A and B are shown apart, each in its own frame.
Chain A
Amino acid sequence: MLSIKNLKASVDGKEILRGLDLEVKAGEVHAIMGPNGSGKSTLAHVLAGRDGYEVTEGAVQLDGEDLVGLTPEERAHRGVFLAMQYPVELPGVNNSLFLRTALNAIRKARGEPDLDAVAFLRLMREKLKLVNLREDLLKRAVNAGFSGGEKKRNEIFQMALLEPRLAILDETDSGLDIDALRVVADGVNALRSPDRAMIVVTHYQRLLDYIEPDFVHVLAGGRILRSGDKSLALELEDKGYGWITGEAA
């Protein structure tokens, strides 16, 4: 479903990704691990199409269609979703209005009719349960005054609502205590499905205790140095990244 071939990408003229290959099939969950500065977040942002992340070489295809050159919203319309490490606040922008506008923009791009207010409310209520968020959060401004845990849960809630084809979770575990982590992981697990792929970007093995990946990849120096099953994550936990990257642990 997602095919990345020899991907090279720069930020501010500095090459961060240096020939990355990755194949992700529908239904699979891939974990991308790696030390700080290895290019994990860059990969997440390149996939979502953020400005300033320049692809200099290689190809990224989703369901056979080239993603490079598409705007972030065009990618969203095709089913790409990025759960952000630092979800931004949108003061004064009502959460449910924001989500309804987003969902209808995606539906419109797909030639589907708008969801009316009643149908949308029903859908929201159903998805809220998934991440254990209170309904009054929907009446508030997007992420404004949310706790760290609420912001992350809100990301997963958005993901549940927008039903992406490819979900990328960028350091979703950062800043979460163990209870919040469990709620977020439960939400993510509930969204695993045979026609959805997920890429979980994380620094720590901890998250993978709750979201069990099919594959684990170690990213360092802008390339995937090793791939394996979930046992690789446990090995990393044990030995540190230096064992793979060749640096002192």
Chain B
Amino acid sequence: MATSNAVVHDLVQRGYEHGFVTAIEQDTLPPGLSEDTVRAISARKGEPEWMLDWRLKAYRHWLSMEEPAWSSVHYPKIDYQAISYYAAPRTKDAPKSLDEIDPELLRTYEKLGIPLEEQKALSGIAVDAVFDSVSVATTFREKLAEAGVIFCSMSEAVREHPELVQRYLGSVVPHTDNFFAALNSAVFSDGTFVYVPAGVRCPMELSTYFRINAAKTGQFERTLIVAEAGAYVSYLEGCTAPQRDENQLHAAVVELVALDDAQIKYSTVQNWYPGDAQGRGGIYNFVTKRGDCRGARSKISWTQVETGSAITWKYPSCILRGDGSVGEFYSVALTKGRQQADTGTKMIHIGRDTRSTIVSKGISAGEGKNAYRGLVRIAQRAENARNHTQCDSLLLGDRCAAHTFPYVEVKNPSAQVEHEATTSKISEDQLFYCRSRGLSAEDAVGMIVNGFCREVFQELPMEFAVEAQKLLTLSLEGTVG
């Protein structure tokens, strides 16, 4: 095993390619959190009274809550008074077109491979670009509007579509849900809003690209996607951050609502700065994501590829309320260096004939720690519910760890619940086999790991599957040698 360990070791020692900082004038709130902070954020965004009240209610509730400590991740106590809760590129007015956006910002996204000019953009993908606390651009809006699809920043949605926001915001993840969701509800600064009207199949892939730039700033974005009866939408989020010595908190909330026969496909390729090999710096990615299959035969599918962040702590979940609704969770989580991940899903079966599928692939390298934590709950009235869970861990090297915490609660005797789990290492035989055919050790490991993740990558939209494979191979470089 000597060689494969050495190979793995080198693969982990690799730089982070999105670690640059954009020099841009910013409007930043001083660090600290109080009712005044909440009011200041709301005022900056010109929000109506009801929105401010909603935030304040959440803030007051948050004050009564304790930070949870049940996960398997470890981190020094976060000082919530040391974080700035709002940072935005300084502009006179909201830019009306791309011409009015600071060219430095456009260059930043260009550098990240996300051109915001529509003629340059990937065909068929509309992008909302969130920079620190605000959305800086949303592409292809007119084209989407023709189909009746609303795709805009959350700030705009609050102003332009208050009735929709009021109806759905917090209806899946209430402000009382958990510590980080409460905090997010109080201070969220922007995010993406998607509304697909009844019977409409969204004509393009929608995507939000999150970038944290400012130092000592938390990012708290809020995403809300509503698919009316018979609607379909596929949405993808990507994230990067500069390389910094300090830890930065990213506490987002994502809510999905699928009505009768609607389908939402939500994909994440998360590549926040993971910190260095010694564990200095990196993003704390503490996110609440939940989808509500409110309508009959609705379907929500989560796919995530998590390679970044110092700590990933999240459980994209599905509430299978509608009869015959379907929930899916496909996950690849890679931890290397000192990264920690505690991730998984909850599938809450309430309706009859509901089905859920969980495929989780955890890869640990270096001193990375990877935990799958999942709950499958079959409620009493959920006749004929079915779940299949497959949970595989791959260990690279001998200093990493993988844990699995599956919870199953069944209250209806007609339920069928299956759980499969494996833990494996890349064997010396596999490595030798590949190398004897001419592949370098590094390519061999990359290929075997990508093979391990195949079932999940298949679920990603085509362009992103290719990106995800590249990202995984890049993330692994330096872990092998």
User: Chain A interface (Cβ within 8 Å of chain B)?
Assistant: 48-52, 71-73, 75-77, 80-82, 84, 86-88, 90-94, 97-99, 101-103, 105-106, 109, 141, 158, 162
Bound-state Cα–Cα, A220 to B427, Å: 30
A76 and B435 within 8 A (CB): yes
Contacts of A93 in B (CB 8 A): 447-448, 450-451
Question: Which residues from chain B contact A82 at a C-beta distance below 8 Å?
Answer: 436
Residue on B nearest A168 in the bound complex, by CB: B436
Query: Bound complex: CA of A162 vs CA of B440, how far in Å?
Result: 16
Interface size class of B (residues with CB under 8 A): 20 to 34
Given contacts A72-B436, A82-B436, A88-B429, 18 further A-B contacts (CB under 8 A): A48-B436, A71-B441, A73-B438, A73-B439, A73-B441, A76-B435, A76-B438, A86-B429, A90-B430, A90-B433, A90-B451, A92-B454, A101-B439, A101-B443, A102-B434, A105-B438, A141-B451, A162-B438
On whether the beta carbons of B451 and A91 are closer than 8 Å, the reply is yes
B452 at the interface (CB under 8 A from A): yes
Specify which chain A residues have a CB less than 8 angstroms from the CB of B427 in the assembled complex: 88
Measured between beta carbons, the chain A residues less than 8 angstroms from B434 are: 90, 98, 102
The listed residue (B2, B436, B452) touching A91 by CB distance below 8 A is: B452
* Shortest Cβ gap from A164 to chain B (Å): 10
From residue B306, how far is it (CB to closest CB) to chain A in Å?
18
Q: Which residues on the A side are within 8 Å of B452 (C-beta)?
A: 91-92
**Residues of A contacting B439 in the complex (Cβ-Cβ under 8 angstroms):** 73, 101-102, 105
Bound: A49/B438 CA distance, A: 12
The 4 closest A-B pairs by CB, nearest first: A92-B451, A93-B451, A92-B454, A76-B438
Q: A73-B439, A102-B438, A102-B439 are in contact. Are A51 and B447 (CB under 8 A)?
A: no
Q: Whole-angstrom distance between the alpha carbons of A101 and B448 in the complex?
A: 13
Q: How far is the CA of A158 from the CA of B438 in the complex (A)?
A: 12
Q: Of A71, A72, A101, which one neighbours B447 at CB under 8 angstroms?
A: A101
Q: Residue B3 at the A interface, CB < 8 A?
A: yes
Distance in angstroms from B282 CB to nearest chain A CB is 29
- Does any Cβ of A come within 8 Å of B453's Cβ? yes
Q: Is the CB of B428 within 8 A of A92?
A: no
Name the B residues within 8 Å of A101 (CB-CB). 439, 443, 447
When distances are taken between beta carbons in the complex, the residues of chain A under 8 Å from B168 are none
Contact yes or no, A51 B450, CB < 8 A: no
Q: B453–A92 contact, CB under 8 A?
A: yes
Residue in chain B with minimal CB distance to A108: B438
Q: Are A50 and B432 in contact (CB under 8 A)?
A: yes
Establish whether residues A90 and B448, one from each chain, have CB atoms under 8 Å apart when the complex forms.
yes
| A-facing residues in B412-449 (Cβ within 8 Å) | 427-430, 432-441, 443, 447-448
Q: Are A51 and B2 in contact (CB under 8 A)?
A: yes
Task: Say yes or no for B156: interface residue by CB 8 A criterion.
Answer: no
Q: Is B459 an interface residue (CB 8 A)?
A: no
CA distance A48 to B450 in the complex (A): 26
**Cβ-based interface call for B237 (8 A):** no
Residue from B438, B443, B451, B455 within 8 A of A103 (CB atoms): B438
Q: Determine which of B2, B430, B432 lies in contact with A72 in the assembled complex, contact meaning CB atoms within 8 Å.
A: B432
CB nearest to A87 among chain B residues: B433
- Chain B nearest CB, measured from A46 CB (Å): 12
Shortest Cβ gap from A128 to chain B (Å): 17
Residue with the greatest number of chain A CB neighbours at <10 A, chosen from B3, B429, B438, B454: B438
- Which residues from chain A contact B436 at a C-beta distance below 8 Å? 48-50, 72-73, 75-76, 80-82, 84
CB pair A162–B429 under 8 Å, yes or no, is: no
The 8 Å CB contact of B433, one of A88, A97, A109, is: A88
Q: Could you say which of B432, B437, B438, B448 contacts A109, with CB atoms under 8 Å apart?
A: B438
- Residues of A within 8 Å of B432, CB to CB, are 48, 50-51, 72
**Is A88 a contact of B430 with CB atoms below 8 Å?**
yes
Residues in B with CB closer than 8 Å to A48 are: 432, 436
